[in-house]
């Protein structure tokens, strides 16, 4: 039995994800597909457009066999930490392969670049610190250090977003001494950050979300039918989540905090708390706040993640236990197909991590963050919907799809 792992957000599940899923099965010859999926808040610091339960259903109906949650402490992090947490879960679940999408589509440069940078580690880290001190953002410093070190060598292009994630997946596999074999599939038609539709059937999740919120372009050509049904149902009965719906909550949090309290929040560094306090007072929308907060040193994504931690009141102290290990201490099961359930039964006794089907069965500081994030995610609703949705975190069993 061959098992392939995918690291996903499915925000929402679209035709590009379906292509990736099918090509991953084909490339690995896998009989079981496991997706480790971000929960209610995502790597770019955004609330997921629909809940993790709805996105789990999308994945299962489209062919994934097991969906497990990437804890908040990893899901809302820079690429290195995000990848490390995801790989640790897939490794614990016995995956033979991890298959990711990339702009390149060839796995060899990912491996050779990792080996090259490991051999040049001290010099690379010195260069990064040098560029950070010039005032550029950390991701920009990584790129500049890499180019400086790279010279004329034919290595991976680390200026491209999916190549960066893929690089860190491979690095995590090597550092964790995992038996997982990395594979990659070339992305087709749509770029990671594309805002517009450039193909008749494949579009980025960014452009699909933009169309959903503006309602100026139908999306049925770009998503499986089941995704469209779930999106329409959520739009009718609940909300399609986005930052603007949370802005009044974020503004209240910041306005009622002292600068010292803001400074204790995870990712608030170098006196940024004073700028946050100043910018929020004159901002009437999340977009306006972000535009006033943005600087050359801090990327939009980094600041969105910071805002997520402000919203959920996640402190540096609370993140300490995650920073010590870089690997997940548990596996939270969200859903499974019949094949996924059979696979779990087969490997359950071999699992080295606790497998959680409900949050009340386990106690850990990182799980507390997951629960707190789930509560924050539902705060845009009025009663009694809010209470009903809050209970989902404790009462929803793993979803089963035959």
Binding residues: 7-20, 101, 162, 187
Tokens 């497990």 found at: 68
On whether the CB atoms of residues 253 and 311 are closer than 8 A, the answer is yes
Tokens 């702009």 found at: 103
- Per-residue HEC secondary structure of 373-391 comes to HHHHHHHHCCCCHHHHHHH
Q: Where are the alpha helices (DSSP H) in 185-266?
A: 205-214, 225-237, 247-255, 259-263
Q: Cα separation of 118 and 200, whole Å? A: 42
Residue 362 CA, chain-centre distance (Å), reads 23
Length of the chain: 402
Q: Cα separation of 142 and 147, whole Å? A: 9
Structure tokens at 242: 């986005």
| Residue burial 273-307, b: 16+ Cβ < 10 Å; e: rest | bebbeebbeebeebeebbeebeeebbbebbbbbbb
On whether the CB atoms of residues 234 and 389 are closer than 8 A, the answer is no
Q: 239-243: long-range contacts (C-beta < 8 A, 24 or more apart)?
A: 239/380, 239/381, 240/49, 240/50, 240/212, 240/213, 241/47, 241/48, 241/49, 241/50, 241/377, 241/380, 242/46, 242/47, 242/49, 242/209, 242/213, 243/46, 243/47, 243/286, 243/304, 243/307
On whether the CB atoms of residues 170 and 110 are closer than 8 A, the answer is yes
Tokens 């931690």 found at: 309
Check the CA dihedral 226-203-4-92 and report its sign: negative
Task: Show binding-site residues for ATP.
Answer: 7-20, 101, 162, 187
Tokens 């993640």 found at: 305
């Amino acid at each position: 039995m061959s098992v392939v792992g995918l690291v996903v957000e499915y925000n929402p599940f679209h035709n590009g994800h379906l292509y990736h899923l099918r090509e991953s099965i084909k490339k690995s010859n896998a009989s079981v597909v496991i997706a480790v999926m971000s929960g209610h808040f995502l790597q770019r610091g955004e609330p997921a457009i629909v809940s993790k339960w709805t996105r789990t259903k999308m994945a299962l109906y489209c062919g994934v066999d097991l969906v497990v949650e990437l804890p908040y402490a990893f899901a809302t992090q820079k690429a290195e930490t995000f990848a490390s947490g995801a790989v640790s879960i897939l490794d614990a679940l016995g995956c033979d392969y991890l298959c990711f999408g990339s702009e390149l589509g060839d796995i060899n440069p990912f491996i050779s670049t990792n080996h090259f940078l490991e051999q040049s580690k001290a010099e690379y880290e010195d260069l990064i610190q040098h560029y950070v001190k010039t005032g550029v953002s950390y991701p920009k410093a990584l790129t500049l250090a890499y180019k400086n070190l790279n010279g004329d060598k034919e290595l991976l292009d680390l200026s491209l977003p999916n190549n960066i994630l893929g690089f860190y997946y491979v690095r995590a596999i090597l550092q964790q001494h995992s038996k997982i074999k990395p594979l990659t599939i070339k992305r087709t038609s749509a770029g990671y950050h594309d805002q517009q539709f450039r193909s008749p059937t494949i579009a980025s999740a960014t452009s699909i979300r933009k169309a959903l919120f503006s309602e100026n372009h139908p999306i049925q050509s770009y998503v499986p039918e089941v995704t469209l049904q779930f999106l329409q149902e959520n739009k009718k009965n609940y909300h399609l989540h986005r930052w603007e719906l949370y802005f009044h909550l974020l503004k209240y949090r910041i306005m009622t905090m002292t600068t010292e309290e803001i400074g204790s929040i995870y990712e608030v560094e170098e006196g940024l708390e004073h700028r946050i306090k100043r910018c929020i007072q004159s901002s009437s929308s999340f977009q306006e706040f972000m535009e006033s907060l943005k600087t050359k040193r801090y990327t939009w994504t980094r600041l969105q993640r910071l805002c997520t931690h402000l919203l959920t009141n996640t402190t540096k102290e609370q993140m300490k236990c995650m920073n010590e290990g870089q690997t997940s201490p548990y596996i939270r099961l969200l859903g499974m197909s019949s094949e996924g359930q059979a696979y779990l039964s087969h490997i359950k006794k071999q699992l080295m991590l606790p497998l959680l089907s409900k949050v009340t069965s386990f106690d850990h500081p990182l799980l507390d963050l997951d629960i707190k994030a789930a509560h924050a995610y539902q705060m845009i609703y009025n009663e009694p919907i809010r209470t009903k949705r809050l209970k989902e975190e404790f009462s929803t069993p793993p979803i089963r799809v035959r």
